[in-house]
Structure 1
Amino acid sequence: MKVKIFLASLLLSFTAYAFAQDAKAPTASQDAGYKTSFKRNKAGDNWFIHLGVGAQTIFGDHDMDGELMNRMTVAPTLSVGKWFSPYWGVRLKGQGGSLHGVENHGNFMQHDRYYNVHMDAMWDLTNYWGKYNENKFFSFVPYLGLGFAHRMQNDQTIPSDLDLPYNYGRYSNVISMNTGLMFGFRLSKRVNLDLDLAGALVPDYFDRITQNAEYEGITAATLGFTFKLGKTNFEVVEPMDYNLINDLNGKINGLRSENDALSKRPVSCPECPKVAPSTTSAINYVPNVVFFRLNSAKIDANQQISVYNTAQFMKNTGEKIKVVGYADKKTGSGGYNLKISEQRAKAVAKELSAKYNIPSEKIVVEWKGSDEQPYPENNWNRVVIMTAQ
């Protein structure tokens, strides 16, 4: 009896391990991303590099006095980042070039060379509020970050009639506040086309001219390609089937109670009458079952013992076996459940033939979907039952 308890405990431990260590977890979630648990990827996975180019302009005190098209300049961008989950990540982005600002009510245009390097936190709303799928075509990613902006020394000739600060041409260093929206379009497993609408706030003295406003804004719209490095997807963590675990715990407790009762029996028993041996032979076979996870037709490692025992029975007796697949009725449509019960039954039959060399003509395969429920517990009906013919 102690051996039985040990084996049952071992089976329970292995069941928990098998559910936690599934060889191939799904890469699409059934629920919204924020309701789903994902496996943590390696440090070298989910990195990306983005190269883009577009247009930018600065909005200062008198910039609205100039024509917008005359103030727009080329904006090259370079980003390197990493996604830590399907919906949040960080990146280091650099943007620069020349800024054309207008002063003196449109009579003077500045030509300032600059760069702005900032660290952003990114939030993929399509994967957070929606279901995660690595093949999703569109993504919407707001971001927010802080950075360092540097205006280079300006040697531009200033007209004599302009009243500009004495240190106008000197460089300046400021802290930048950055935000924006990214619209991503999946081209392939490793390449995205991204539209980045970016904005940065810098102190008014960034251009060495201070007037009424506290801040100046730099806006840009760029289009570029994102190249994904390392592993590109995230795997969904499938929860353990706690109903199955509780059922095994109940069996263990029952065996313990039985063992306690047997330990209290008398050391010696009165002589019992001899029982004549039976002259009839019968095949003693209790139906074997293989339980499956939700939406799965894969035989878990902890269920292989049932397939093995059935194969040994067939080899020892030469009997035929009926393999019947089922699905629980509380999940899925009738058509879907019929299909997955068929897949489950055929998976068990294939295992008997391929792994244990059981002739296919000795296996009768049937499937019932969710029209028949062999067990009162809903989760138990994700099952294949094997019975002797």
Structure 2
Amino acid sequence: NLIGGYKPERKWDIIPVAGIGYAHAFAYKGTPKTNIISTNFSLMGKYKLPKGFDVNLEVQSALFPDQFDGRITGGMYESSCAVMLGVTYNFGSRGFAVTKNTSKHKHRVARGSRKVRYVQIINPEAAERKVEVIRTVNDTVFINKEVKVREEVPVRTNEPVMLGSILFDINKTMPMQGQEITFVNIAKFMSDYPEAKIRLAGYADQQTGTPQYNLKLSTKRGISVKDILVKQYNIDRKRIEVQGVGTDAQPYERDKWNRVVIVTAVDF
């Protein structure tokens, strides 16, 4: 973990150990009892199995003074070696618990002796309203429907907002099949914001075609998306702007993802 970083999905762990130990030899058949300080080394490999089990394989060695076992060999040290195979069961979950704060619009609304849940305001429309609060105290759930939460009304800006990406096959000007939900979401946004306008920025990947050809291809892709929005979803064509980018920019790391039209709300 120190060298490769902590990764919960990693199956293998390697644990090196070095330390100092104490060893005692009992008197036996003329060999006197002995107490010594030993140096120990070991290397453990651990493999994670499903359902909380681990398999452990450890190779361990220890260094002793030559006279430890009563036989003098003339060397400075003698050593022992052991190989151990074991199974470990983990009670509870492995690894570390990670907590992330994923929203800026969470408000604390109730307190309990053990747990406090939060209510997330998804689409605030007023500065003050009533919300449903779920509070858990000692594993018992209480629901309060009359708790008032103070909310901040978001300030509308003219910053562009990305609404979706429409993908294309290589050298094609019609969108790939299976992207209807993206068109539906764009049409819903245009309906919710009648004054909004959108920009269709067409791209092409750098791996195929010349820059001049890709510029024309990306523009045609934007026009085809515009035609679908106008003809199939009844969006006013004056609210749609088409921009061909070609290969001047590559918004994504993968080439096939750059065969795309990115839909952005520019005025709403």
Q: TM-score, normalised by structure 1?
A: 0.30
Structure whose residues are more often helix by fraction? 1
Relative contact order, higher structure (CA 8 A, sep 6+): 1
